[in-house]
Amino acid sequence: LDYVGRYTHRVAISNNRLIDIEDGAVRFRWKDYRHGDRQKVMTVSADEFMRRFLLHVLPEGFHRIRYYGFLGNRHRAQKLARCRGLLGMPAPEPSNSRSAKDYRDRYEDLTGHS
């Protein structure tokens, strides 16, 4: 489960964690969980960075899991409707894309500024 859990939602490293690539070395931020979740910077050679990155590439034939359970792609609408019914929640209002406000209009409504 621990092995599979690493591949369910996240990518190996997001772009915002990469700081610098220079002179064959890569600098990136990482979280040190052993010392109070502190953000630290690590510098490794480009070869080592690629080695570590490729450890997170799924083998051929494996697929990254995006959603599972009642959020799984198959029958999602029916399962969500059942969950709403069990929780006593009303069905959501259908959105009409023609009458939906543009993001600029919504921003103005929220902030009072155009």
Of the residues 66, 83, 103, the one at which a domain ends: 66
Statement to judge: residues 57 and 90 lie in one domain:
no
Of the residues 66, 81, 101, the one at which a domain ends: 66
Structurally, the chain folds into a number of domains equal to: 2
Statement to judge: residues 44 and 75 lie in one domain:
no
Band (47; pLDDT cuts 50, 70, 90):
very high
Statement to judge: residues 84 and 101 lie in one domain:
yes
Give the global pTM.
Answer: 0.48
Once rounded to an integer, what is the mean pLDDT over residues 69-82?
Answer: 84
Q: In what order do the strands lie in the sheet with 18-22?
A: 18-22, 25-32, 38-45
Statement to judge: residues 74 and 61 lie in one domain:
no
Statement to judge: residues 76 and 28 lie in one domain:
no
Statement to judge: residues 31 and 51 lie in one domain:
yes
By residue range, what is the domain housing residue 2?
1-66
Band (82; pLDDT cuts 50, 70, 90):
very high
Q: Which residue type is seen at 14?
A: S
Statement to judge: residues 40 and 51 lie in one domain:
yes
Phi, psi of 14 (to 5 degrees): -90, 155
Task: Tell me which residue has tokens 């591949």.
Answer: 7
Q: Which residue type is seen at 18?
A: L
Average per-residue pLDDT for the chain: 82
